[in-house]
Structure 1
Amino acid sequence: MSFAKKLAEMGVELPNAPAPAANYVPFVQIGDLVYVSGQISNGPDGFITGKLGADMDVAAGAAAARTCAISLLAQVKAACDGNIDRLVRVVKLTAFVNSTVDFTEQPKVVNGASDFLVEALGEAGRHSRSAVSAASLPLGVAVEIEGIFQIK
């Protein structure tokens, strides 16, 4: 099954790729690799803000991370001239979780993105990753994730 069909089956429509918020490009392609800039947690009602360990629980953080994964795929789709089926695999994610100094569940939060990618892309969605704490993130968002993707 194509990635586009699987996403549609899951009820996920990739949005237009978010524009950069500052002086950078949303992605850079080098050979068959696409490096996607950090995508922040953003839902239908706007930015998903909060601090894990203070005013946000792991489930809400994982949902925020899932929105980052959807934005990452939107950027990959843009890099592939609108054809997400040119994606070969997710190579690596680096995730930042807005969290308190004593919060230690960053990997569970980032599972929201990882689980989504594996569900949507199967084996092609399996990736290496880092999940780190951040004292704060732009605009107060809960999660920001950047990624490296292989395309054809």
Structure 2
Amino acid sequence: MADPTATPSVAARLRSLGITLPPLAVPAAAYVPFVRSGSLVFVSGHIARRDGKPWVGQLGLTMGTDEGRAAARAVAIDLMGTLAAAVDGDLDRVARIVKVLGLVNSTPTYTEQHLVTNGCSELLAQVFADAGAHARSAFGVAQLPMGACVEIELIAELR
């Protein structure tokens, strides 16, 4: 019989949210998807994708904050797919999401990069509970690879 006081597994939280993690993506340039160093996993930046293609746009010009937030949430799902590969599929080995860095393709006058990046941060908190609370930076940039609207990287600590 399962312990009713036990915290749901990360896999159970993902299922309850209707999220299926993607397989490990092949890098588009000269880098690896993740690097493990001691108890830390550094996950390379992932660009936003929609329907398997780069989610192209510039915040403040061709897209608004809500769409950018949805793009950042999509990136979080891809990041978790890569993180799952780094821990052989057992995301319960993640002790904490340590840091998230969000890059938002935006106009010089756009100032809601933090709200866009919340799309990633909030999903990580839902999936990892207290272990999903993380330090974060969010920057506006002039352009991202392939015209993507958002790119995010993360660092996680393993048990």
Q: Secondary structure of the residue that 1:25 maps to in structure 2?
A: coil
2:141 to 129, 134, 141: 134
Q: Is residue 38 of structure 2 the alignment partner of residue 31 of structure 1? A: yes
Structure 2 residue 61 is matched with structure 1 residue 46 = no
Instruction: Say if 2:157 is the partner of 1:150.
Output: yes
Structure 2: unaligned runs, 5 residues or longer: 1-7
Letter paired with 1:109: V
Matched with 1:92 is 99
TM-score, normalised relative to structure 2: 0.93
- Distance in 1, matches of 2:79 and 2:52, equals 18
Q: TM-score, normalised by structure 1?
A: 0.97
Q: State the AA in 1 paired with 2:96.
A: R
What is the aligned partner in structure 2 of residue 107 from structure 1? 114
CA offset at residue 46 of structure 1?
Answer: 2.1
Pick the structure with greater CA Rg: 2
- Structure 1 segments, 4+ long, off by >3 Å, are none
Residue in structure 2 matched with residue 83 of structure 1 by the alignment = 90
Partner of 1:76, secondary structure, is helix
Give the CA deviation at 1:87. Answer: 1.3
Give the count of matched residue pairs: 152
Q: 2:125 aligns with which of 118, 121, 127?
A: 118
Cross-structure match for 2:79: 72
Unaligned runs of at least 5 residues, structure 1:
none
Post-superposition shift, 1:45?
4.7
Q: Deviations over 1:89-144 (max 9, x none)?
A: 10001110000000000000000001111111111111000000110000000000
Aligned residue identity for 1:146: E
